[in-house]
């Protein structure tokens, strides 16, 4: 005959093992990328600390490059003077280099 306290202890042990297996299965099924990402050569704790916003920097650079031509065309449409256009292009290039430099700091 098992005593009630012993039964409670066995239940806790079974619950602990079941919880561990359930969490493991849920992570494996729903979020396996988190583990594979951390184990991949691209994972980098130092980068996460010194460049916590790498993704945002990357997104900003991609968005800027994507809209560069459209922005230039729009500006040229309303600014016929060569001086204005040159200044615009120079500013666009310096902004591009600044964004590239910011991303480069993450490598």
39 binds another protein (CB under 8 A): yes
Residue nearer to another protein on the CB measure, 41 or 80: 41
One residue of 38, 71, 74, 87 binding another protein per CB under 8 A: 38
7 binds another protein (CB under 8 A): no
Asked if 54 and 47 count as a contact pair (C-beta separation under 8 A), the reply is: yes
Min dist. Cβ of residue 100 to another protein (A): 14
| Cα–Cα nearest to 94, from 51, 64, 67, 54 | 64
Site string for another protein, 42-81 (x = CB under 8 A): -xxxxxxxxxxx--x-------------------------
Q: Which window, 28-36, 64-72, 73-81, 89-97, contacts another protein (CB under 8 A)?
A: 28-36
HEC-encoded secondary structure of the chain: CCCHHHHHHHHHHHHHHHHHHHHHHHHHHHCHHHHHHHHCCCCCHHHHHHCCCHHHHHHHHHHHHHHHHHHHHHHHHHCCCHHHHHHHHHHHHHHHHHHHHHHHCCC
Interacting residue ranges for another protein, rule: CB under 8 A: 5, 8-10, 12-13, 15-17, 19-20, 22-23, 26-27, 30-35, 37-39, 41, 43-53, 56, 102, 105
């Amino acid at each position: 005959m098992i005593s009630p306290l012993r039964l409670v202890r066995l239940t806790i042990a079974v619950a602990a093992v079941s919880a561990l297996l359930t969490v493991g299965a849920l992570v494996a099924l729903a979020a396996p990328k988190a583990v594979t990402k951390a184990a991949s050569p691209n994972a980098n704790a130092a980068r996460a600390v010194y460049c916590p916003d790498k993704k945002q920097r990357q997104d900003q650079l991609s968005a800027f490059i994507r809209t560069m031509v459209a922005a230039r065309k729009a500006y040229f449409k309303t600014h016929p003077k060569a001086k204005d256009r040159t200044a615009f292009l120079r500013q666009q290039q310096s902004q591009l280099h600044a964004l590239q430099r910011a991303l480069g700091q993450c490598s």
